[in-house]
Amino acid sequence: MKIFGFAGWSGSGKTTLIEQVIPRFVGAGLKVSLIKHAHHRFDVDQPGKDSFRHRAAGCSEVLVSSVERWVLMHEQRGEPEGGLDEQIARISPCDLLLIEGYKRYPLPKLEIYRAANGKPLLYPEDEHIVAVATDTRAQTRLPQFGLEDYDAIAAFVLDTLELNR
């Protein structure tokens, strides 16, 4: 399983960019999965649903399964979040695992940079950033792409990971 990350400050456009390159990877015949790090509380469940009620009653894990999908919800119940290595170990085998967030984790990453955010580049502080997608010209020798240059970004990721088929 090859792993590639997308890092950038909140509001930089990571999710939009990833959403656009995923179909290009799938179109290349790859089985693709993703881990997204959330810096805030989130819930994929809805109040009133059986699974929500079971978690609220105290279950540590609730797995909901149907013919279309299954989801496992795990409640931390005060336990530490755990690292990315633990999350990667939970992912079913695939050709390409994309990581959104975890910007400090040591894996090859594309930085998504938007000047209007007023934040500094993560590169050169992060030696694992291998390219930058930006709406401006960044001061770097790394490969640079426009924020909407999805074909070139997807090709770069495939080349970097030697996943060309």
Closest CA to 90 of 24, 137, 33: 33
CATH number for the domain spanning 152: value is 3.40.50.300
165 in a domain, yes or no? no
Q: Please check whether residue 53 is in contact with residue 45, taking contact to mean a CB–CB distance below 8 angstroms.
A: no
pLDDT tens for 108-121 read: 999 999 999 999 99
100 in a domain, yes or no? yes
54 in a domain, yes or no? no
95 in a domain, yes or no? yes
51 in a domain, yes or no? no
Q: What is the DSSP annotation of 7-62?
A: E--TTSSHHHHHHHHHHHHHHTT--EEEEE--SS---SS-TTSHHHHHHHHT-SEE
Alpha carbons within 13 A on the beta-carbon side of 32: 21
**Mean pLDDT, the chain, integer:** 91
pLDDT tens for 97-146 read: 999 988 889 999 999 999 999 999 999 899 999 999 999 998 889 999 99
Residue 109 is part of which domain span? 2-40+83-160
55 in a domain, yes or no? no
77 in a domain, yes or no? no
* Number of domains comprising the chain: 1
Q: Please check whether residue 40 is in contact with residue 56, taking contact to mean a CB–CB distance below 8 angstroms.
A: no
68 in a domain, yes or no? no
